[in-house]
Chain A
């Protein structure tokens, strides 16, 4: 049953923030900090939307090792991410690239702001006075004023 498989996965990834495991750590604390920074942007491909910084899965461990080795070899963040994308596709990045295909994703929220601002400006410009009461409304108002049932 799928549900149980899922729970098994959940239970498997329980011991988390796995990247802090001292057995994996780089000797240079500055490099280690840099590697940890990169981990947070890299997805554990087989997990439920987790970064390799969190996940205890086998694959996450392998990816951490790759990143740590490259950090140790002096490569910078962009190079390492490039390497991972070439190998695993853009899926590996938790921060999607600002490319044309992702335009809606990055621009969408700010378009909502612009659209809202435009609508608001139009509303503020078009400050035509309220229309006169319609005949029916005037009638209703009169009845209310005279305390008759509306």
Chain B
């Protein structure tokens, strides 16, 4: 019964989205506030309908209602409650429902929070958001119905892939989808700006909070996914340049570019056409990601549900939606104003350079992901594009960008002073280079590239701090004045500093981990040992463990360093009878910022006594890989709380006056 209510609520959400589109569009055309308000009401109703549908599906998963096809295919009654709940979005159908929930949720939020928007702009935005809702809800209802019933009800479900049975499943997709779909508001705002023919500072100011929110959520989502892959797959890797990872990375890069170009549009009225273009591109890349992950055109280690027919539908949705957006852009963009002038050395130029490099980095990821498909379709020759390609193209582009990051915020608008910037940054540069040289001299084995990467990471941190020192006149003005300036800094400035420092932290982790990770693998009998880095590992025992829906072999491995005990690792090798699958449960000993990463492999009975394959990795500074992006996302949130961006501030001020 509840399932039927859910299915009905989903249909209602679709109807309300259609009403939202029609009413808001009519409100704009007839300049009727009543119709526009009705459209906003429909946006809220669509969200509520979608929320009910989502709750109904979750109910079916929690109660293990195997008469629902989606539950029967993806759940199991013995699965722990958390994974039954998270299983709601663990399948293709459920994840599309989550996508729609986020889409209608953002639509309703934009309708409610956008009080200060000009009426025409707002009506077009709400209508566009409604149009997106119609497309995706229609797809969900007609092509991937999560509520489809089975006539022959199975006694037991087929269970969820054990790889997905992890607490990360509860948090990773919601963040990722909030990020993906948050970009839809930016898309709708861009469409509205093009329809209204007005892209100005005020518009850029409305775009920024939505971009910040979506980008911060995407940062958290990607990082959680990276950490999940890191400990779940058991390969000790955190980024594989896999098509699915690339699909999430492209909207992130474009979102980052948009955050920077929107600043130029807001402060200087320039780059308006480009900012609108990026705003359209961000959600287009989100949709491209949704298509790539589900269509099966690309093979991936994180593959989802694969179904070519659905892929075709998603491709049509992507083509039509993005196509309409960009056609509108091509038609209307030439009418947009050029905006303020700037010199070659200026903050505008620095931000343009940032955008060029981020766009080129996105092009790298896009080409690396799609070129094999295009080439095979065109010539019939299959090629592979793997990590070596990205290391040769993406990495130098990013390195060039990172070198420039600290200089940008120190340059003045319109006409900057390169010598002045150099003067303010030379201490930071010296410290960073010194740290790099120190790493080159002290860390063995010696690696010039790794040390240069570390210097770059330090440069991002020291350079950002130098900018903070400059802004607060620290060490030059009296402490009281510095303190006053420090507390008076806008949140946006703090956000930027945090995000840039977070990037530096990530670069440190990435370079140290990649350059100096160590690996060891041996087949060990009970009592056997292996060495990795400075650590000595002894396999003490192997015992059996009975989990809720699996059986496992658990190794007790004691790690020592110079004879002193460090930790007792308990990696497992689990067998899930429901799908007869085996997984490894990695054990990570956290040693400061570094990880001692231990995997228990298969048992081998070839010799006189049984042996187990044990792999161990020493991943120095690996924690920074996940901590750095966390700081970046925090920077986004702090910037989001800036007074300037707080929605409704302008109106309240007007009322007070």
A48 touches B234 (CB 8 A): no
Query: Are B613 and A15 in contact (CB-based, < 8 A)?
Result: yes
- With a cutoff of 8 Å between Cβ atoms, the chain A residues found around residue B242 in the complex are 48-49
CB pair A94–B361 under 8 Å, yes or no, is: no
Provide the residues of chain B in CB contact with A120, threshold 8 Å.
349, 352-353, 356
A1-59 residues with Cβ-Cβ distance < 8 A to B are 1-4, 6-8, 10-11, 13-17, 20-23, 40-41, 43, 47-51, 54
CA of A116 to CA of B362, assembled, Å: 13
Given A54-B235, A124-B344, residue A109 in contact with residue B388 (CB < 8 A)? no
Q: For B361, give the chain A residue with the smallest CB separation.
A: A109
- Of chain A, the residue at the smallest CB distance from B600 is A15
CB distance from B591 to the nearest CB of A (A): 20
B349 and A95 form a contact (CB under 8 A)? no
Q: Are B361 and A10 in contact (CB-based, < 8 A)? A: no
Q: Which of A15, A43, A101, A117 is most buried by chain B, counting CB atoms within 10 A of its CB? A: A15
* Complex Cα–Cα for A49 and B361 (A): 21
Interface residues of A in 101-140 (CB under 8 A from B): 101-102, 104-106, 108-110, 112-113, 116-117, 120, 124, 127, 129-130
Give the docked Cα–Cα distance between A127 and B341 (Å).
7
Q: Using known A-B contacts A20-B519, A104-B367, A113-B360, determine if residue A91 contacts B615 with beta carbons closer than 8 Å.
A: no
In the complex, what residues of B have CB within 8 A of residue A4's CB?
158, 579
Q: Is the CB of B303 within 8 A of A48?
A: yes
Complex Cα distance, B385 from A102, in Å, reads 10
B393 and A106 contacting across the interface, CB-CB below 8 Å: yes
A67 sits at the interface (CB 8 A): no
Whether B385 and A11, one on each chain, are in contact in the complex, defined by CB atoms closer than 8 angstroms, is no
B308 to chain A, nearest CB (A): 9
* Smallest CB separation, A61 vs chain B (Å): 13
- Chain B neighbourhood of A101, CB < 8 A: 375, 379, 381
- CB <8 Å contact, B615 and A89: no
B581 touches A7 (CB 8 A): yes
A93 contacts chain B at the CB level, 8 A cutoff = yes
Q: Is the CB of A22 within 8 A of B389?
A: no
By the criterion CB–CB under 8 Å, are A109 and B393 in contact? yes
Contact assessment for B383 and A90 in the assembled complex, using a CB-CB cutoff below 8 Å: yes
Interface presence of A71 (CB below 8 A): no
Would you call B359 and A112 a contact (CB within 8 A)?
Answer: yes
Which A residues touch B581, using CB under 8 A? 7-8, 11
A11-B162, A110-B360, A127-B341 known; A17 vs B519 contact (CB < 8 Å): yes
Residue A60 is within 8 A (CB to CB) of chain B in the complex: no
For the complex, what is the distance from the CA of A6 to the CA of B303, rounded to whole Å? Answer: 8
**Cβ A2 vs Cβ B307 within 8 A:** yes
What is the number of residues of chain A that contact chain B, defined by CB distance less than 8 Å? 52
**B384→A112 contact, CB < 8 A:** no
CA distance A92 to B361 in the complex (A): 25
Question: Does B37 lie at the interface of the complex (its beta carbon under 8 Å from any beta carbon of A)?
Answer: no
B201 at the interface (CB under 8 A from A): no
CB neighbors of A among B351-404 (8 A): 352-353, 355-357, 359-361, 363-364, 367-368, 371, 375, 379, 381-389, 392-394, 397
Report chain B residues within 8 Å CB of A93: 383-384
Docked complex Cα distance between A130 and B242 (Å): 47
Q: Does B338 contact A (CB under 8 A)?
A: yes
> Chain B residue with minimal CB distance to A20?
B521
Cross-chain contact A7 with B388 (CB below 8 angstroms): no
Do residues A130 and B388 form an inter-chain contact, with CB atoms below 8 A?
A: no
Chain A proximity of B180: nearest CB distance (Å):
21
Given A20-B519, A22-B521, A108-B364, check contact A95 B359 (CB 8 Å).
no
Contacts of B233 in A (CB 8 A): 14, 16
Residue pair B522, A22 in contact (C-beta under 8 Å): yes
Write the nearest CB–CB distance from A144 to chain B, whole angstroms: 13
User: B387–A94 contact, CB under 8 A?
Assistant: yes
CB distance from A16 to the nearest CB of B (A): 4
Of chain A, the residue at the smallest CB distance from B376 is: A91
Given A16-B233, A112-B360, A48 and B301 touching (CB < 8 A)? yes
Given A4-B579, A49-B300, answer yes or no on A21-B613 (Cβ-Cβ < 8 Å): yes
> Across the interface, which residues of B come within 8 angstroms of A20, CB to CB?
519-521, 615
Q: A20-B521, A112-B356, A112-B360 are in contact. List 11 more A-B contacts (CB 8 A).
A: A11-B163, A43-B386, A49-B298, A49-B301, A51-B386, A90-B381, A91-B382, A93-B383, A102-B375, A108-B364, A109-B360
The 10 closest A-B pairs by CB, nearest first: A94-B386, A116-B356, A95-B388, A20-B521, A11-B581, A112-B360, A109-B364, A91-B382, A16-B235, A7-B161
Offer 6 A-B interface pairs, CB within 8 angstroms, sorted by A.
Answer: A1-B73, A54-B237, A91-B382, A101-B381, A124-B342, A124-B343
